[in-house]
Structure 1
Amino acid sequence: MTCSVGVIGAGAIGLGTSWHLAQQGHAVSVYDPRLNAPVHRRGSANDLSGTSASLGVLMGHVFRRNSGRGWRLRRRSMELWPQWVRALKIHQPELKLHRGLLQIAEDEQAAQRMEWLAAQRVELGLQTMTKEDFRTVWPTATHGGLHSSDDGRIDPLLLQLALREALKEQSVELNATAVVRLERDNHHWRVHRTDGDSQIHDVVVLSTALTTDALLEPLGHARPMTPVLGQALSLQLETGPTNWSNWPSVLVDQGFNLIPTSPGQLLLGATVEPGDCASADPLILMRSLNERAPAWLRTATVVSHWSGLRARPVDRPAPLLEELEPGLILASGHYRNGVLLAPATAEWVAAALEQP
């Protein structure tokens, strides 16, 4: 059965869900004022959406837990991402699944956990590495680490561009206006917009991150979220690696993500600060890596710096995937994993629509 669906929010989750639902024949409308804005990070931007600010790191198979909803969502997304990339490359040929992720063990206890995890997930491409294996890549990895052949990265900017084009092909209605209120209308939902117009849908999907609670509270639902600031730097190296021949697509050390982009250049980012205020000097926060950074990283020149807020659910595990009442679906609060979990979330929403 197909229906009219209003998706509020146009990050990776909102756009990905809209695309998946449109492919299944649903009549989809997307609402987000950022749909009028270009997708880029030019200059020093501090008001980016979670998806645009993110680095698109896919930490699926290295997830510590071996069961539960979080593990199932990550594993399913990692199964779906190759299919999504193949389909979306039609609209953005440069979109690619960058495979290969190295996770550094912070101490001996972490190394033992990684060894156990690798033994459990050999078929998923996990393998432990010794400090000798890291000698030419990351000499400070004195406890070794974990290599995942299928985890890695999706460029979040290219992903958004590809999804926007794919939605146009599917004749999805793109409304570059904010939603101010939801109203029950018999067995339907009326979406009220800032321009004074409104539209009725059979189903509304909320993928609105930090603004979710403002829409839900008047309806009697409370799903508070707290902002967590993510920061990223684009760096030009003065010394050190140039061609990245021995590097993976992503190297993770103490929660900091290092991503080679071109000869002598890389991205460095992390979601590390509660609240919505950036550190006065992001270099202090990130480039020392708690005094473990190699000299070539500390002396690199900053090309650009940006930040963005992630929505972390309060007293509930991320993400929030719920049908709050008939026709009102919540798919939000993905915290650091919006890009990673976009395919599995879209599939979950589609399945929720099929429930009687």
Structure 2
Amino acid sequence: MPTERNGAGSRETADLVVAGAGVIGLACAWRAAASGLDTLVLDAGATERASEVAAGMIAPVGEAVWGEEPLLAAAAASAEAWPAFAAELQAAAGCEVPYRRCGALHVGLDRDEAAELRRRRDLHGELGLPATWLRGSECRRLEPGLATAVAGGFDAPGEAEVDPRPLLVALRAAAAAAGARIEEGMAAVRVVVTAGRVAGVELADGRTVDTPRLLAATGARMGGELLPPDVRPPIRPLKGEILRLRAPPGERPCERIVVTERVYVVPRAGGEVVVGASVEERGFDLRVRAGSVHELLREAYRALPDVAELELVECAAGLRPTTPDNAPVIGPTAIDGLLLAGGHHRNGILLAPITAEAIALELAGAQLPEVIEPLRAERFSRPLQEMGA
């Protein structure tokens, strides 16, 4: 780690400290290091990291709901950026980024579910999103493994998926290749603020790193003690349990992502099938409940009966960092040099390209993309005059 000498002895320094080494933190660190900033990434470990257990869906159409149009605009822009982002990352990392545009089929398993999906399809039309309404028989022609109960649905051919585990490996490699230093097993515990500016970051082992900039990308823990209360975003953990299954070669239950009202099934190119995900308000509890496993398998079986024949490989839980409006907090705060990139809920992988772009632009003193403006971190902050600044 670079050091500077002054009257007090050696001090560790960095142009930018990134607290958090999930997909968001590493993507931002890669871009920052590539721009020439001496970047230090603090990786506290994967215990609660949502990236480790995410399904990896890049599916803005599936996320379209009434009242979240600003988030949808950012999601659509980020999904469009994903192919180029994946190609650039793969070249920079020297390892595979398994991005796959497979499409998604959203289905209703009875008339009521189909009617609700039809209403959502009307929203897609209003927003100009590519999705085609299909009768139940047409859904089954696209995916023959669907249950006969399917009453209708919509096809979103532009939706994609990426396996988050090799994605994390690639992001770490690309960040390191660009010059970022990644300190394993180390957490940031407090940002040091002097005269309204970031001056350093205190680490869990008692060291302090002198830095003018901190990017907080600590996931569900961002609402904790690292940040001063006046700029601490209202992020809470939403528990999600997920299953990984394995299909025999050539026997995946579906070729597209299949989504119902209660479950999604994501087929991977290598034969893995991901089933998710529960949504539970259980704090930081990461235990996998038998009831959740049962419910996920039951709902997956209702849509795709062949799921019953697959090998159950893994049951896992992660914590989605979630804000009151389900949209992330991205960009500067009222403290000069303190940036946030978090609260992505279930869209961290989808929003990674545009989040990393926004943070890179902010670090360069450039204007944020227009679609990021409604997601700025300051929307949850108190005005400076109320903070006594």
Q: TM-score, normalised by structure 2?
A: 0.78
Given that 2:331 and 2:358 are in contact with CA atoms closer than 8 Å, whether structure 1 keeps it comes out as: no
- Contact 1:310-1:336 at 8 Å conserved across structures: yes
2:137 maps to what in 1?
132
Structure 1 residues 223 and 202: alpha-carbon distance in aligned structure 2, compared to 1, 3 A threshold? same
Letter in 1 for 2:133: T
Matching residue of 1:18: 29
Q: Secondary structure at the match of 2:32?
A: helix
Which shows bigger deviation, 71-80 or 254-263?
A: 254-263
Aligned to 2:157: 149
Instruction: Provide the C-alpha distance between the structure 2 equivalents of 1:55 and 1:114, rounded to a whole number of angstroms.
Output: 22
Aligned pair count reads: 338
User: Which whole-Å CA distance do the structure 1 matches of 2:210 and 2:121 have between them?
Assistant: 53
Greater mean alpha carbon deviation, residues 281-290 or residues 197-206: 281-290
After TM superposition, give the deviation of residue 294 of structure 1 in Å: 4.3
Deviation at 1:263, TM superposition (A): 7.8
By how many angstroms is 1:346 displaced?
1.2
| Distance in 2 between residues matched to 1:191 and 1:178, nearest whole Å | 10
1:53 Cα deviation from its structure 2 partner: 1.0
Query: Structure 1 residues 155, 24: CA separation in 2 closer, same or farther (over 3 Å shift)?
Result: same
Cα 1:142–1:82 shift into 2, 3 Å: same
Contact 1:73 1:345 in 2 (8 A): no
Residues 308-328 of structure 1: CA deviation (Å, up to 9, x unaligned): 111212x34421224222211
Determine what percentage of the aligned residue pairs are the same residue. Answer: 26
Unpaired runs of 5+ residues, structure 1, are 38-46
The aligned counterpart of 1:44 is none
Query: Is the CA contact 1:137–1:247 (under 8 Å) kept in the aligned structure 2?
Result: no
1:334 paired residue among 337, 344, 351: 344
Question: Out of 41, 54, 57, which is 1:30 matched to?
Answer: 41
Change (3 A) 1:25 1:76: farther
SS of corresponding position for 2:138? coil
Give the stretch that moved more between structures: 11-20 or 62-71. 62-71
Does the Cα contact within 8 Å between 1:118 and 1:128 map onto a contact in 2? no
Q: Do the aligned partners of residues 215 and 299 (structure 1) sit closer, same or farther apart at CA in structure 2, a change above 3 Å counting?
A: same
Q: How does 1:128-207 map to 2 (within 5 A)?
A: 128-135=133-140, 136-140=144-148, 142-176=150-184, 177-186=186-195, 187-207=197-217
Contact 2:215-2:341 within 8 A present in 1 as well: yes
Q: Counterpart of 2:84?
A: 83
2:100 aligned with 1:98? yes
| 1:256 has 2:263 as partner | yes
Tell me, in whole angstroms, the C-alpha distance in 1 between the residues paired with 2:70 and 2:152.
Answer: 29
2:98, 2:167 within 8 Å by CA — same for their partners in 1? no
**C-alpha distance in 2 between matches for 1:251 and 1:209:** 27
Kindly state the Cα deviation for residue 352 of structure 1 after the two structures are TM-superposed: 2.6
Distance 2:117 2:228 in 1: 48
- Residue deviations 1:194-252 (CA, integer Å, cap 9, x gap): 122211222211111222122355453342322221112222469xx95349621x211
Structure-2 change in CA distance of 1:72 and 1:119 (3 Å): closer
Residue equivalent to 2:56: 56
**Contact 2:89/2:174 (8 A) holds in 1:** yes
CA distance in 2 between counterparts of 1:263 and 1:210 reads 30
**Judging changes above 3 Å, is the alpha-carbon distance between structure 1 residues 118 and 312 closer, same or farther for their aligned structure 2 residues?**
closer
Counterpart residue type for residue 108 of structure 2 = A
Q: Which residue in 2 is equivalent to 1:42?
A: none
SS of corresponding position for 2:97: coil
